[in-house]
Amino acid sequence: MSRSVKALLLCVVVAVAAALAVAVEPARACSCLPPDPWALLAKTDGAFVGRLVSRREPDDRRAILAFSVERAVKGEIGATVEVETEKSGGACGIETTVGERIGLFLVREGDTWLGHLCWQVAPEDLLAATVLPAPNGTGPVVLLVGGRFGPARSMVLDGQGRTLAYGLGSGVPSAFSACPGGRRIVEITDLDRGFLVTIRELSTMRFVRRQRIVSPSPSSRPHCASVEGDRLVAFSGSGPDLERRARLVRYTPSGASTIWEGIAWYASFWRNKAFVQGVEWPSTALVEVDARTGATQRLGVVPDPVRELVPNGAGALFAGDSYDEANACCPQLLVIDVRRRPTTVRRIPLRTPFGSTVWLSNDRFAYLGRPGETLVYTPALRLVARFRGWNTTLGTVGSGGSLFGLRADGALITARLPSGRTRLVRRLPGAPSVIASATG
């Protein structure tokens, strides 16, 4: 059996199976397994990116397609190339139109290049396979990394730091937001007056849609508040002189609407809810806002002033620090339980303020306080680990019982708890700039 027949066999089998499964309907086009550009690049004889110029059909089975070649990445392929394929798309013949730009893998038989639909890919996918390491991860997505990686601007990694997929495109994301349900994520790119958000399928990083959000003075980047990524929420805080009212704005593909307005400096997000610290003199009220309906619920009073609160994975506990900047007084670490009405607040004094909180799991969190010092607490604020030397430069996230962080040199590192012993996981390709948890 020739190589071309072997190559087409899988497509034909899949197409026949699909036709049998829907025998009562007309025959459908060829179905292919999702192509792996890295595997195809290794096992085929040629590959190129180009545009269809012409098509001719010498008989009732074959078609000869002539392409202008933009870039040949494998094989002796010149400025133009002719490719023989099946005439019908139902038999896995190449399907494209004159002028369309595609990527195509080929096999060689004598003087003839052969191709088929199952080896037709997006040009960006083919080019990515020439410059980026092949994905080698397994299991669920744990980490999101943004930056500049050749033709890609984002990566998703498994719990061992191995690549699962790349998000292709220009620009550099500044943040991510995981959508409820774990199927999609939002890439966020800062603009002069707002943000550009890109919604992707989490497991494959395939592009879904893009939306520009114009917001003159947001205090927070947009948060994904729906499973499909079609509902985003952003918070714009009050100014220091309290002349500007804070707003919580919901964005959909059809427009924007204000779902909460008042005096507030901070807001936190979890799934389809926002938790706004609204000022009700002389105290600060924690207000829950439903991003779907705009319904609000006053949860209780929290210490004033509290900096940004960070929710755990269950959305039941929030941790953060508090500091009276006006009087340069009284730094505290707090855990707020929103499961009870009114909310309960635990607090302990801190030596220095302005650290960051990272949840490791629902029952542990790390507080990155003084330079190089990391403290690990339970929700009851019992200290269970303390270590020094954790300095990741580009960000830190938690997963299970581990810390993951990025350094400016592209090193992905992790800390084993409770010892805090640091280990190099890998050096990422290109120039990473931000890391986030895939669970929000």
Which of the pair, 270 or 16, is modelled with greater confidence? 270
Check residue 219 and give its pLDDT.
Answer: 67
Under a CB-based contact definition with an 8 Å cutoff, are residues 133 and 157 in contact? no
Check residue 80 and give its pLDDT.
Answer: 96
Q: For the segment 358-368, what is each residue's pLDDT rounded down to a tens digit?
A: 999 889 999 99
Give the N- to C-terminal CA distance of the chain in Å, as an integer. Answer: 51
| Reported confidence tier of residue 29, pLDDT bands at 50, 70, 90 | low
Mean pLDDT of 382-391: 90
Residue in this structure with the two tokens 């220095």, named with its chain if needed: 352
Check residue 439 and give its pLDDT.
Answer: 82
CA distance 30 to 19: 9
Q: Which residues contact 85 (CB under 8 A, 6 or more apart)?
A: 62, 63, 65, 93, 94, 114, 115, 116, 117
Under a CB-based contact definition with an 8 Å cutoff, are residues 259 and 250 in contact? yes
| Burial class, 25, CB count within 10 angstroms (exposed 0-12 / middle 13-18 / buried 19+) | exposed
| 142-146, 160-164, 184-188, 327-331: the lowest-pLDDT one | 327-331
Q: For the segment 217-240, what is each residue's pLDDT rounded down to a tens digit?
A: 666 899 999 999 999 999 998 876
How are the residues of the chain apportioned to helix, strand and coil, as percentages rounded to the nearest 5? 10, 50, 40
Domain map (residue ranges) of the chain: 3-129
Provide the percentage of residues in the chain whose pLDDT is more than 90: 67
CA distance 3 to 7: 6
Cis-peptide into 305, omega within 30 deg? yes
Under a CB-based contact definition with an 8 Å cutoff, are residues 305 and 284 in contact? yes
Q: Which two tokens stand for residue 172?
A: 């550099």
pTM of the model: 0.83
Check residue 77 and give its pLDDT.
Answer: 96
Question: How much is the mean pLDDT over the chain?
Answer: 88
**pLDDT at position 155 over 80:** yes
Under a CB-based contact definition with an 8 Å cutoff, are residues 138 and 162 in contact? yes
Q: For the segment 196-225, what is each residue's pLDDT rounded down to a tens digit?
A: 999 999 999 999 999 999 876 666 899 999
Q: Which two tokens stand for residue 158?
A: 């498994």
CA distance 144 to 188: 12
- In single-letter form, the type of residue at position 385 comes to A
| Reported confidence tier of residue 245, pLDDT bands at 50, 70, 90 | confident
CATH 2.40.50.120 at 3-129, yes or no: yes
- Determine which helix (DSSP H) or strand (DSSP E) holds 37, and give its type and residue range: helix 37-43
**In Å, what is the CA distance from 382 to each residue of 35, 70, 279, 351, 363?**
50, 62, 30, 16, 11
| Reported confidence tier of residue 15, pLDDT bands at 50, 70, 90 | very low
Which of the pair, 417 or 344, is modelled with greater confidence? 344
Check residue 216 and give its pLDDT.
Answer: 61
CA distance 364 to 385: 10
| 22-36, 90-104, 229-243, 419-433: the lowest-pLDDT one | 22-36
**pLDDT at position 1 over 50:** no
**pLDDT at position 372 over 50:** yes
Phi, psi (5° rounding) for residue 368? -95, 100
Mean pLDDT of 31-41: 87
- Determine which helix (DSSP H) or strand (DSSP E) holds 15, and give its type and residue range: helix 3-21
Mean pLDDT of 391-412: 91
**pLDDT at position 436 over 60:** yes
**pLDDT at position 64 over 90:** yes
